Structure 1
Amino acid sequence: MDGKIILMAVLLATLLGLVMAAFSGPSPDKARKRRIALIRGRHSDSAEAVLEARMRRVIDSRQPVTEMKMLVSLIPDPENLTKRLRMTGRKWTLSQYMTACSVIFLFTAAVMMLRGFPLLFALMVSLAAGLGLPHWWVGRLINKRINLFNAKFPDALELLTRGLRSGLPIAETLAVVAAEIPGPVGEEFRLITERIKIGKTMDQALQETADRLGTAEFQFFVISLAIQRETGGNLAETLSNLATVLRQRAQMKLKIRAMSSESKASAYIIGALPFIVFGLISYINFDYMSPFYTSDPMGLFGLSLMQVIGIGGMCWMGIGAFIMAQMINFEI
């Protein structure tokens, strides 16, 4: 019992330390120096200062990968995770991501140990929660941003088409899109124009954005520009046709979503009902569900029979949810 109390105290102290490190603000001296440098660069008329300010904005939009090496060193593939964090459109770093994972792990472990779960089982579930929940949340933000981008991207192509037909060059039309289209589309085109201004070619700037977004719609746009640059032709007409194709793809996706909405609702209800009933029974009559919360030293890994049955049921539910998800997943 004393050992468990000591372990709980260590977990809570570590949790508080990580929370304080995560929410502590930057150094006031560094922030003041950075603001002074930005003001000087903004009000300077020299070409070097303007170029330096542009490069600083582009560099600030990238995610650093060398902070809090103790936590970052635990990541098996930091480049892939850095790319995923950039795809969210948020200025999150690897250290912040690993801090969130550690906080979730320690909090879940502390709660489960207070409820009397075995140490090994609590650590396994906490590890799964600490690694799985941030990964799921980042994926959800990525999908949300990509959907917003795809919804506004045909409008951006139409604006590019009108700009080209009016006689503007492609670089200026990209700047117009960056200024006129809100949301992720304007942000991505703004980064493209900034990269072009600091010396990168249009192909390099577009390809970097395509690699970060990872969407087929923007890749179509990059390929269309590359082919038109090599073979010639009417770029405005090409972009207009591409906008029409992208809108038809979006309509097909919405049609498939509407046709599969009933199956998805049934799957959500069937999957959530056992957990809702379990929570309600635990709240109404905790003594009835107490065998699920108590450990058994003679059981498997210190788990009671009820806990083993619950784990088995969740595994079977996970298999069923995976099968249903694959049945309604259509590639367009």
Structure 2
Amino acid sequence: MLFWSAVILVGIAVFVVANNIFQEEDQFKAQEKLEDSAKADIGQYGIILKYSRPFFKRYITPIVSMMKNKKKIKERYRRVIASAGISNYLTPEDFYSFKLFLIIGFPILFMAIKYFLEADWELKMMIPMAVIGYYYPNIWINGKIKQRQKDIIYNMPFAVDMLALSVEAGLDFIAAMGKVIEKATKNPLTEEFGIVTREIKIGASRAEALRNMAWRVDLIQMSSFCATLIAADSVGANIGPILKSLSAEIRQKRSSAIEKAGATAATKILLPTIFLIVPTVFIIAGVPLALQAFLGQK
């Protein structure tokens, strides 16, 4: 049964390649030229994505794009991809193709390692490997989202301070964001500011661009920041003092979060202390006494 499962997996891989091998080469080459910059940067998102992307992009994404439920796929993964900041590298169809590719890729990799090492691994391990392959992209992208959100929270006070200073110095909102992008080190928040400025330059309203940023980042702090700016913009209020107030509020919340993390750290340290350090102390102190008593009785 497991042998035939392996044969079926290999057959699916061969079918996918054969189904797409005859696609127009000129069209594919043109697409590859457009994605050269993405290829150069894709390595920062992990070795699995880096080496998997050329295969699923060419052989699986075209099939996913023809599926009847592709609209559901777009709705399900569009925000996740935007929150992770990888919209330039993956589309929702690409992400789903990545999942499908690893269903086949992980078992094939398992078989290759088994054969190369001549390991006595059971073939039934291919089934959990396929399951891991399907869910790995979800785990990976959730980790990217959490890390990106942490970076944004960390950089928000400095960025909002610079926005306030720039606006009070006489710059408009777009120019102030440009100044933040110029002066700050590159981070996810400056990337989001860059997207906002580009959207406004091509015709989006400030409110629309800020709503889009809040939707992409998916953070309470960012949603509050954008909502406050949108409300101030709608009544024509001066946003300089508002930005200063927002900066102070963000700093206070971050300090509270750090204090809370510090308070919970003591509890987290307590468990390793009880289960690792205390037994070691008892062994060091008690074993010599026990040996002395045992030998003394003899």
The alignment's TM-score, normalised by the length of structure 1, stands at 0.58
Q: For 1:196, give the aligned amino acid.
A: I
Unmatched segments (≥5 aa) in structure 1? 36-65, 270-332
Cα deviation for residue 246 of structure 1 reads 0.6
Change (3 A) 1:80 1:165: same
The Cα offsets for residues 186-205 of structure 1, whole Å up to 9 and x where unpaired, read as 11111111111111111111
Looking at structure 2, the residues matched to 27 and 267 of structure 1 have their Cα atoms a distance apart, in angstroms, of: 56
The Cα offsets for residues 56-103 of structure 1, whole Å up to 9 and x where unpaired, read as xxxxxxxxxx94343784675431312101211122223432333234
Q: For 1:159, give the aligned amino acid.
A: M
Looking at structure 2, the residues matched to 235 and 160 of structure 1 have their Cα atoms a distance apart, in angstroms, of: 9
Change (3 A) 1:262 1:174: same
Mapping 1:179-194, distance limit 5 Å: 179-181=182-184, 182-194=186-198
2:203 to 190, 199, 203: 199
Q: For 1:139, give the aligned amino acid.
A: N
Would you say 1:146 and 2:144 are equivalent positions?
no
Which segment drifts farther, 253-262 or 11-20?
Answer: 11-20
Q: For 1:92, give the aligned amino acid.
A: L
Residue in structure 2 matched with residue 223 of structure 1 by the alignment: 227
Q: For 2:247, give the aligned amino acid.
A: A
Mapping 1:276-291, distance limit 5 Å: none
Residue in structure 2 matched with residue 93 of structure 1 by the alignment: 91
Residue in structure 1 matched with residue 5 of structure 2 by the alignment: 7
2:100 to 99, 102, 126: 102
Would you say 1:68 and 2:85 are equivalent positions?
no
Cα deviation for residue 243 of structure 1 reads 0.6
Q: Work out whether residues 148 and 183 of structure 1, in 8 Å CA contact, stay in contact via their aligned partners in 2.
A: yes
Looking at structure 2, the residues matched to 234 and 268 of structure 1 have their Cα atoms a distance apart, in angstroms, of: 53
Q: Work out whether residues 83 and 217 of structure 2, in 8 Å CA contact, stay in contact via their aligned partners in 1.
A: yes
Change (3 A) 1:216 1:148: same
Q: For 2:138, give the aligned amino acid.
A: H
Looking at structure 2, the residues matched to 13 and 268 of structure 1 have their Cα atoms a distance apart, in angstroms, of: 50
Q: Work out whether residues 228 and 235 of structure 1, in 8 Å CA contact, stay in contact via their aligned partners in 2.
A: yes
Q: Work out whether residues 188 and 209 of structure 1, in 8 Å CA contact, stay in contact via their aligned partners in 2.
A: yes
Looking at structure 1, the residues matched to 272 and 92 of structure 2 have their Cα atoms a distance apart, in angstroms, of: 32
Looking at structure 1, the residues matched to 235 and 194 of structure 2 have their Cα atoms a distance apart, in angstroms, of: 27
Looking at structure 2, the residues matched to 206 and 187 of structure 1 have their Cα atoms a distance apart, in angstroms, of: 13
The Cα offsets for residues 284-311 of structure 1, whole Å up to 9 and x where unpaired, read as xxxxxxxxxxxxxxxxxxxxxxxxxxxx
- Aligned-partner SS, 1:92: coil
Change (3 A) 1:166 1:141: same
Change (3 A) 1:263 1:71: farther
The Cα offsets for residues 125-165 of structure 1, whole Å up to 9 and x where unpaired, read as 34542332211110100011111111111111111111111
Q: Work out whether residues 19 and 103 of structure 1, in 8 Å CA contact, stay in contact via their aligned partners in 2.
A: no
Q: For 1:189, give the aligned amino acid.
A: F
Compute the RMSD of aligned alpha carbons: 3.7
Change (3 A) 1:230 1:107: closer
Change (3 A) 1:116 1:126: same
Looking at structure 2, the residues matched to 220 and 226 of structure 1 have their Cα atoms a distance apart, in angstroms, of: 10
May I ask how many residue pairs the two structures share in their alignment? Answer: 230
The alignment's TM-score, normalised by the length of structure 2, stands at 0.64
Residue in structure 1 matched with residue 29 of structure 2 by the alignment: 28
Looking at structure 2, the residues matched to 19 and 157 of structure 1 have their Cα atoms a distance apart, in angstroms, of: 50
